[in-house]
Each structure stands twice: as C-alpha cells, then as structure tokens.
Amino acid sequence: MLKLLIPIALMLTNAVSQAGGEFRHIVMFKFKDSATPAQIAAVEKAFGELPAKIDTITDYEWGTSESVEGKNDGLTHCFFVTFKDKAGLETYIPHPAHVAFKEILIPILDKALVFDYTAKD
C-alpha cells in the first residue's frame, strides 16, 4: 500500500508545484522575407528537438500567430519554453544543442523578442 501511496503523493506534490513558480522563456520570431518555407520548417523542427537534448527544459509548446487584434508587431512564431527555475534557462543558453540551433536560426532571422518570467497565479 505504501509503495502505491508514495508515487501518488509525489504526483500530487508535482501537480501543486506546477500551479506557479515555473520559469517561462517566451521566444518570438519574425523571419526575413527571403526565408523559404523549408528554412522556416527546419527552425520549427530544430527548436522542437531541444527538449529531448536539454534536460532542464520541463515543458515546451509552440504555435504560429493567429492574431485577432493585429498587435503582434510582425512576429509570426512563438515558442513557450518552461524550466524549473532561472538556473535551468542559464544552463540552456550556452548548451551546445542550443548554440547549434541558433546557427540554423540566425541566417533567416529578421528579429526576435524574448520574455522571461516566473509564473504567478
């Protein structure tokens, strides 16, 4: 019975900690007009491979702009990356997999906006 209860207790603890306190790293891109659909798809794919390569990433999602109010300043892509804490992001930035990703990104990047925050309810 105890063997069953311990993992359940750990799951509940984890669920509570996820209600706030995660470190969010929001990354938005506008690509150059010269960027091809294949180049953009390569960036989307390469970003999506980072969570498997960098273990401080605890959650990941992304999407493309479906602006309702037209206030997205030309940015077309948003990647929403979560770390347990700011130290997780500080490990990620210089990580070889992230550096290699940037080599795919930079040649087609017009501009990027990055916003980091600790999630509060």
Q: Which residues are catalytic?
A: 92, 95
C-alpha to C-alpha distance for 102 and 96, rounded to whole angstroms: 10
Q: How far is the CB of 70 from a second copy (least distance, A)?
A: 8
* Residue 55 binding a second copy, by CB under 8 A: no
Is 119 a residue that touches a second copy (CB under 8 A)? yes
Which residue's entry shows tokens 């273990």?
55
Q: Distance (Å, rounded) from C-alpha 61 to C-alpha 22?
A: 14
- 23 - beta bridge partners? 83, 118
Binding-site member from 6, 11, 41, 61 for a second copy (CB under 8 A) = 61
Half-sphere exposure of 6 (CA within 13 A, CB side): 3
Candidate ranges 3-11, 34-42, 59-67, 99-107; the one touching a second copy (CB under 8 A): 59-67
Give the binding range for a second copy (CB under 8 A) out of 4-12, 30-38, 87-95, 96-104: 87-95
**Shortest Cβ 28–a second copy spacing (Å):** 6
Question: Which residue of 11, 36, 45, 117 would you call a contact of a second copy, by CB under 8 A?
Answer: 117
Contacts of 19 (CB under 8 A, 6+ apart): 121
